[in-house]
């Protein structure tokens, strides 16, 4: 197959190639036609573009002529000022007659010094005041002709270009203003019709007047009511802004999204400058020349079709039929048929030679295929024998490979389990509290048990219920209300309890009926004491026993680790907690104070301290005995634990003195908290041995860093000084430390 036939298989036949040759001969004619059409299109576009530029220039000149004519008219009217400042029907009629002489005028009017319209060409009976117009104010200030910015007429309600001239008395004083309003819509429509009627290609020209800020003043024609449209970001206005100085003509999409060729200009005087754009639809610009092009192209297509049909007919009779016969026989031989011969071929000598050589080729091919078939049979038998041996060896290798992979996975899983459990044990050795250990246990058991769900429950301090410790897996429980020990069969029996939906074991009561599938509960025992239970959902496949053994091992190691944590937590509580009240003691204050100051400094937050002293505490001991004093101290301690945030630290320093550290709490908030605490203490009703204790009160000192106290080292001393001040002021009070209070007590 030739390269041409490879990429163009539809042109592989002789007849198709002959037709292609005819088509190629027509290409130069088509190219000349296209070039001629494009040239005509270019010339037509240039003519229309020149006409657009001419229209823009004519409108520009007409606008300046209108302003000049208006100036002349106003100058002539200013010669008789008294005539135009007396309201009368005759005055209105005279102005109306003058207005009719100018097709673009909206109104001619006169205004007094107060801005009231005296005479108007519209004969409007409504009182109109124009003092709010800038051009009227400028005219009343004196000077020459004022051409104002385009505005909406108060009478016509259309966009007008105002022109005004002061009226002077014989003594030179300003008596009022006479003005003309040029209706921009009438002006633009009139000029557009007068300048485009002589050209058939300019029948659909659109013209637009713009404010410099992109607001559409007038559009002609305006079927979409675009007056007042803010189009600063439109493609048309952005192009207009960039081409008003060089006056280029460009193709841009209009406000109605129709592509047009536009010419641009800037018209007006001084502050009354406005922008002008005139556009012609691109489709209409080239409509006539495109129609000629398509008609010519249609004629060429018809002629080409006739020539192609003639070439097709000649190729059919002279070439395709003889060659098709030969091609058909070749295709039969290619499909596997044998014993085919052409014999005598009627036609050109080349075709006869081709037929003779074809017969020789078929004879040789038949002899070769017979030999090839014998060789192929021998090769097939050898191949089948070899493939059988390879298949046996492959199966043996695959079996050995799977066994090795399974052993490697098992070893890797065991290594991972050992690593996770060792890391978990090391981490738990560093934990101080159970709450600190739960996230570590949750992450480690997630790694250990893959996607299996599980939960650890531990006994409450009372020993009569279990509470949720940590959960893991896809549906990990974040919070659990807990349950009684008898609700779990493993705790009743003191051994593991494995439940199967189809088995004989009963479901534990702490497991919801909605939870389906097998599970195991394992008691967590350490030093002969049950700390809790490990609950694990088991998989549905045959690998349950592996996870059962792993869960039992994990439960044993976790029980020992949790027992050590609880022991360390108990020892630490004994060292930092006050035995009588359960509050933190002085040692804890010394440990935590500097840490909280550093944290508040990093976060740019305040830190406050409350120093609390029970008033007349010695009286309780002297009157009711030391046990009564302990009752008061325990009651105050309980109130402190209940009255503050989890982030606050209520402490007992000794005797009847208490201290509360309030991180991230400013002075105002600390004072409010102290005052609330003082009221709660004063409302305590206590009894000892059946006798009511007298009302308990307390004095409180408040100190805050860094405002007003700059030095955190004197914060506690300052709070103590404020407490001393409260006691001296009569007790049962809250005093706040100032800058020097830490020094006053000393």
Ordered DSSP codes for 502-538: TSSSPPPTTS-TT--S-EEEEEEEETTEEEEEEEEEP
pLDDT at 599: 92
Q: Which of 596, 633, 614, 540 is nearest to 712 (CA)?
A: 596
Residues 598/599/603/606 CA torsion (nearest 10 deg): -80
- Which of 572, 596, 628 is at the close of a domain? 572
Pair 632, 710 in one domain: yes
pLDDT at 4: 54
Pair 582, 563 in one domain: no
pLDDT at 671: 96
* C-alpha separations of 430 from 97, 426, 458, 654 in Å: 107, 7, 20, 31
Q: What is the CATH number of the domain that holds 447?
A: 3.30.450.40
The tens digit of pLDDT for each residue in 63-88 reads: 888 888 888 998 988 888 888 888 88
Let me know if residue 263 belongs to a domain.
Answer: yes
Alpha helices in 253-320 (DSSP H): 282-285, 287-315
Q: Which of 161, 165, 148 is nearest to 81 (CA)?
A: 165
* C-alpha separations of 454 from 14, 135, 457, 498, 662 in Å: 81, 86, 10, 14, 39
Name the phi and psi angles at 275, rounded to 5: -110, 145
Let me know if residue 26 belongs to a domain.
Answer: no
Pair 566, 708 in one domain: no
Pair 607, 732 in one domain: yes
pLDDT at 713: 87
pLDDT at 426: 77
Pair 505, 594 in one domain: no
pLDDT at 746: 42
Let me know if residue 333 belongs to a domain.
Answer: no
The tens digit of pLDDT for each residue in 148-177 reads: 888 888 877 888 889 999 999 888 899 999
Domain carrying residue 542:
425-572
Let me know if residue 122 belongs to a domain.
Answer: no
Pair 510, 581 in one domain: no
Let me know if residue 419 belongs to a domain.
Answer: no
Let me know if residue 69 belongs to a domain.
Answer: no
Pair 728, 606 in one domain: yes
CA angle 243, 245, 247 (to 5 degrees): 60
Contact between 702 and 737 (Cβ < 8 Å): yes
**Token digits of residue 197:** 């009627």
Number of domains in the chain: 3
Pair 492, 612 in one domain: no
pLDDT at 176: 92
Q: Residue 247 gets which letter from DSSP?
A: T
With 0-12 / 13-18 / 19 or more C-beta atoms within 10 angstroms meaning exposed / middle / buried, residue 505 is exposed
Pair 612, 645 in one domain: yes
pLDDT at 413: 65
- Which of 230, 262, 283 is at the close of a domain? 283
Pair 611, 682 in one domain: yes
**Token digits of residue 121:** 């060409």
- Which of 572, 594, 612 is at the close of a domain? 572
565-596 CB burial, b ≥16 within 10 A, e <16: bbeebeeeeeebbbeebebbbeebbeebbeeb
Which uninterrupted H or E stretch holds 489? helix 489-493
Let me know if residue 93 belongs to a domain.
Answer: no
Residue ranges in the chain modelled with pLDDT below 70: 1-15, 17-19, 196-203, 223-224, 244-248, 269-272, 311, 314-322, 325, 343, 345-352, 404, 406-414, 416-417, 475-481, 573-575, 739-746
SS3 assignment, position 497: strand
Q: What is the CATH number of the domain that holds 261?
A: 3.30.450.20
Pair 586, 488 in one domain: no
Distance CA 497, CA 86 (A): 115
Distance CA 650, CA 643 (A): 9
Q: What is the CATH number of the domain that holds 691?
A: 3.30.70.270
Pair 538, 605 in one domain: no
Let me know if residue 189 belongs to a domain.
Answer: no
């Amino acid at each position: 197959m030739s390269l041409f036939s490879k990429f163009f298989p539809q042109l592989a036949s002789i007849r198709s190639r002959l037709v292609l040759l005819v088509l190629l001969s027509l290409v130069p004619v088509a190219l000349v036609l296209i070039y001629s059409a494009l040239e005509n299109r270019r010339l037509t576009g240039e003519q229309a573009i020149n006409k657009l530029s001419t229209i823009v220039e004519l409108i520009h000149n007409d606008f300046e002529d209108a302003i000049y004519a208006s100036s002349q008219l106003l100058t002539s009217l200013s010669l008789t000022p008294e005539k135009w400042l007396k309201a009368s029907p005759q005055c209105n009629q005279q102005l109306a007659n003058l207005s009719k002489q100018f097709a673009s005028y909206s109104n001619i009017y006169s205004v007094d010094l107060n801005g009231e319209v005296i005479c108007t060409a519209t004969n409007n009976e409504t009182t109109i005041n124009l003092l709010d117009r800038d051009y009227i104010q400028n005219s009343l200030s004196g000077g020459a002709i004022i051409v104002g910015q385009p505005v909406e007429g108060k009478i016509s309600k259309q966009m007008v270009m105002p022109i005004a001239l002061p009226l002077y008395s014989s003594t030179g004083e300003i008596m009022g203003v006479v003005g003309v309003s040029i209706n921009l819509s009438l002006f633009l429509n009139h000029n557009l019709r007068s300048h485009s009627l002589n050209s058939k290609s300019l029948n659909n020209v659109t013209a637009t007047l713009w404010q410099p800020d992109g607001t559409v003043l007038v559009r002609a024609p305006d079927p979409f009511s675009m007056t007042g449209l803010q189009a600063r970001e439109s493609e048309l206005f952005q192009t207009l802004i960039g081409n008003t100085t060089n006056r280029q003509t460009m193709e841009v999409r209009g406000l109605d999204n129709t592509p047009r060729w536009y010419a641009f200009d800037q018209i007006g005087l001084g502050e009354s400058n406005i922008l002008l754009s005139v556009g012609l639809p691109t489709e209409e610009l080239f409509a006539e020349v495109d129609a000629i092009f398509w008609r010519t192209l249609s004629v060429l297509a018809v002629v080409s079709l006739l020539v192609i049909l003639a070439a097709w007919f000649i190729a059919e009779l002279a070439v395709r039929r003889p060659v098709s016969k030969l091609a058909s026989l070749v295709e039969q031989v290619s499909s596997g048929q044998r014993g085919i011969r052409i014999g005598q071929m009627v036609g050109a000598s080349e075709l006869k030679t081709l037929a003779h050589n074809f017969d020789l080729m078929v004879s040789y091919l038949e002899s070769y295929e017979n030999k090839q078939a014998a060789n192929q049979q021998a090769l097939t038998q050898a191949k089948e024998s070899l493939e059988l041996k390879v298949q046996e060896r492959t199966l043996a290798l695959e079996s050995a490979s799977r066994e090795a992979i399974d052993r490697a996975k098992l070893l890797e899983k065991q290594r991972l389990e050992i690593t996770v459990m060792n890391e978990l044990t090391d981490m738990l050795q560093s934990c101080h509290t159970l709450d600190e250990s739960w996230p570590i246990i949750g992450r480690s058991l997630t790694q250990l048990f893959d996607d299996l769900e599980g939960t650890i429950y531990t006994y409450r301090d009372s020993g009569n219920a279990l509470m949720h410790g940590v959960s893991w897996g896809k549906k990990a429980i974040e919070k659990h209300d807990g349950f009684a020990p008898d609700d779990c069969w493993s705790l009743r029996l003191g051994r593991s309890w494995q439940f199967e939906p189809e088995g004989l074991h009963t479901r534990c009561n702490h497991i919801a009926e909605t939870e389906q599938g097998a599970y195991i509960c394992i008691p967590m025992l350490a030093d002969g004491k049950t700390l809790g239970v490990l609950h694990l959902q088991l998989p549905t496949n045959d690998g349950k026993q592996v996870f059962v053994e792993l869960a039992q091992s994990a439960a044993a190691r976790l029980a020992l680790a949790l027992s050590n944590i609880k022991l360390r937590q108990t020892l630490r509580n004994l060292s930092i907690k006050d035995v009588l009240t359960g509050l933190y003691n002085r040692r804890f204050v010394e440990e935590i104070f500097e840490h909280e100051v550093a944290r508040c400094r990093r976060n740019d937050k305040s830190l406050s301290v409350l120093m609390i002293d029970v008033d007349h505490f010695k009286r309780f001991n002297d009157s009711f005995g030391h046990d009564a004093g302990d009752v008061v101290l325990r009651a105050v301690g309980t109130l402190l634990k209940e009255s503050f945030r989890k982030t606050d630290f209520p402490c007992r320093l000794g005797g009847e003195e208490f201290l509360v550290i309030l991180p991230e709490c400013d002075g105002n908030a600390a004072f409010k908290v102290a005052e609330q605490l003082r009221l709660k203490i004063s409302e305590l009703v206590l009894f000892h041995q059946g006798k009511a204790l007298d009302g308990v009160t307390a004095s409180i000192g408040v100190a805050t860093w860094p405002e007003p106290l700059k030095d955190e080292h004197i914060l506690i001393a300052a709070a103590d000084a404020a407490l001393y001040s409260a006691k001296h002021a009569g007790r049962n009070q809250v005093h706040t430390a100032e800058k020097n209070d830490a020094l006053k007590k000393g």
